[in-house]
């Protein structure tokens, strides 16, 4: 997993309207510049907010990406809950769980 690169991409998307436009026009042209797994690329393209959360993406960075993708706040929170149910515990990063229970 390349959590660093996922978060770096989302950080850059949050800061650059030009990059956002390029991303929505041709996601692959943006994703090729980052070392990402196939699972991460799919989660970013979908967008699968729940899977990105489970992969360990920081919630502060993820919430801006979710908003950029049209998620309202309640939908964002629910997507993270759904991600835990569908994909299991948070795997890495700040929210990684070790007690067998999801974070949220």
Q: What is the mean pLDDT of residues 81-96?
A: 90
| 38-45 and 3-15 helices, crossing angle to 10° | 30
Does the pLDDT of residue 1 top 70, yes or no? no
pLDDT in tens, 44-82: 999 999 999 999 999 999 999 999 999 999 999 999 999
**Phi, psi values for residue 35, rounded to 5°:** -80, 95
Six-digit token pair at 45?
A: 């393209």
pLDDT in tens, 18-50: 999 999 999 999 999 999 999 999 999 999 999
The pLDDT value recorded for residue 16 is: 97
Domain boundaries, the chain: 3-87
Indicate the helix (H) or strand (E) that contains 84.
helix 73-87
CATH fold for the domain made of 3-87: Protocatechuate 4,5-dioxygenase; Chain A (1.10.700)
Higher pLDDT among residues 51 and 101, named by residue: 51
CA nearest neighbour of 45 among 76, 1, 13, 77: 13
The pLDDT value recorded for residue 39 is: 96
Spell out the residues 6+ positions from residue 102 whose beta carbon is closer than 8 angstroms to its own. Answer: 81, 84, 85, 89, 90
């Amino acid at each position: 997993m390349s959590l660093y690169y996922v978060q770096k991409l989302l950080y850059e998307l949050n800061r650059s309207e030009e990059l956002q436009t390029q991303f929505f026009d041709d996601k692959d042209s943006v994703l090729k510049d980052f070392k990402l797994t196939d699972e991460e690329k799919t989660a970013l393209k979908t967008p699968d907010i729940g899977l990105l959360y489970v992969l360990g993406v920081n919630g502060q960075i993820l919430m801006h990406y979710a908003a950029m993708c049209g998620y309202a706040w309640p939908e964002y929170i629910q997507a993270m809950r759904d991600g835990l149910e569908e994909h299991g515990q948070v795997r890495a990063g700040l929210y990684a769980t070790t007690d067998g229970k999801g974070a949220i």
